[in-house]
Amino acid sequence: MVQQPSAFENALQQLRQAATLAGLDQDTLTQLEHHDRIVEVAMPVRRTSGANKGRVEVFTGYRAQHNNSRGPYKGGIRYHQQVSLDEVKALSLWMTLKTAVADIPMGGGKGGIIVDPKQLAVDELEQLSRAYARAVADVIGVQKDVPAPDVNTTPQIMAWIRDEYEKYIGQPAPGVITGKPVEAGGSEGRDVATSEGAFYVWDQAAKKMGLVPANTRVVVIGFGNAGSFLAIRMHEAGYKVVSVSDSRGGIYDPNGFDPSAVLEHKKKTGSVVGFGSSTSVTVEQQISLEAELLAPAALENQITQSNAESVQAKAILELANGPTTPEADQILAGKGVTVIPDILANAGGVTTSYFEWVQNNSNQHWSRQDVFAKLQQKMTAAFDAVWDQSQKQSITLRQGAGVVAVLRLAQAIKQRA
User: Would you count residue 149 as binding ligand NAD (CB under 6 A)?
Assistant: yes
Measured in degrees and rounded to the nearest 5, phi and psi for residue 69 equal -60, -30
Asked whether position 247 contacts ligand NAD by CB under 6 A, the answer is yes
Alpha-carbon distance 11 to 8, whole Å? 5
What minimum distance in Å lies between the beta carbon of 336 and ligand NAD?
Answer: 25
Least distance (Å) between residue 350 CB and ligand NAD: 7
Least distance CB 56 / ligand NAD (angstroms)? 27
Which of 230, 283, 287, 379 touches ligand NAD (CB under 6 A)?
283
Distance CA(382)–CA(384), nearest Å, equals 5
Supply the minimum distance, in Å, between the C-beta of residue 397 and ligand NAD.
17
Rank residues 28 and 304 by Cβ distance to ligand NAD and give the closer one: 304
Give the span between the Cα atoms of 226 and 150, in whole angstroms: 9
Residue 285 binding ligand NAD, by CB under 6 A: no
* Size of interface with ligand NAD, in residues (CB under 6 A): 24
Q: Using the rule CB under 6 A, is 259 a contact of ligand NAD? A: no
The contact mask relative to ligand NAD for 290-329 (x = CB under 6 A, - = no) is: -------xxx-------------------xxx--------
246 near ligand NAD, judged by CB under 6 A: yes
- Which position among 93, 131, 151, 401 is part of the footprint of ligand NAD (CB under 6 A)? 151
**In contact, 206 and 212? CB cutoff 8 Å:** yes
Told to check if 222 binds ligand NAD by CB under 6 A, we report yes
Residue nearest to ligand NAD (CB): 224
Strand order in the sheet with 108-114: 37-46, 56-67, 108-114, 73-80, 145-149
Nearest to 74 by CA among 151, 226, 164, 178: 178
Give the residue, chosen from 36, 124, 150, 292, that forms a contact with ligand NAD under the rule CB under 6 A: 150
Q: Which is nearer to ligand NAD, 49 or 282 (CB)?
A: 282
Which CB atom, from 245 or from 396, has the smaller least distance to ligand NAD? 245
CB-count burial class (<10 Å; 0-12, 13-18, 19+) for 238 = exposed
Complex with ligand NAD: residue 246 or 356, whichever CB lies closer = 246
Stretch that binds ligand NAD, among 224-232, 325-333, 360-368, 389-397 (CB under 6 A): 224-232
Residue 378: active-site member: no
Nearer to ligand NAD by Cβ, of 22 and 234: the residue is: 234
Q: How far is CA 246 from CA 41, 116, 157, 221, in A?
A: 30, 15, 21, 7
Verify binding: residue 340, ligand NAD, rule CB under 6 A. Answer: no
Cα–Cα distances (Å) from 260 to 99, 244, 275, 314, 319, in that order, read 31, 12, 11, 25, 19
Decide if residue 224 touches ligand NAD (CB under 6 A).
Answer: yes
Question: Mask of contacts with ligand NAD, 20-59, x by CB under 6 A?
Answer: ----------------------------------------
Q: How far is the CB of 192 from ligand NAD (least distance, A)?
A: 9
Compute the distance between CA of residue 201 and CA of residue 169 in angstroms, rounded to an integer. Answer: 39
- Which CB sits closer to ligand NAD, 5 or 19? 5
Which of 101, 226, 287, 371 is in the footprint of ligand NAD by CB under 6 A? 226
Please state the closest distance from residue 221 (CB atom) to ligand NAD, in A. 5
Binding piece for ligand NAD, criterion CB under 6 A, among 47-55, 165-173, 219-227, 326-334? 219-227
Residue of 110, 180, 240, 378 with catalytic role:
110
Please tell me whether residue 349 binds ligand NAD under the rule CB under 6 A: yes
Do 145 and 159 form a contact (C-beta atoms < 8 A)?
Answer: no
Can you give the binding site for ligand NAD, defined by CB under 6 A?
A: 149-152, 194, 221-227, 245-247, 283, 297-299, 319-321, 346, 349
Residues with a catalytic annotation lie at 110
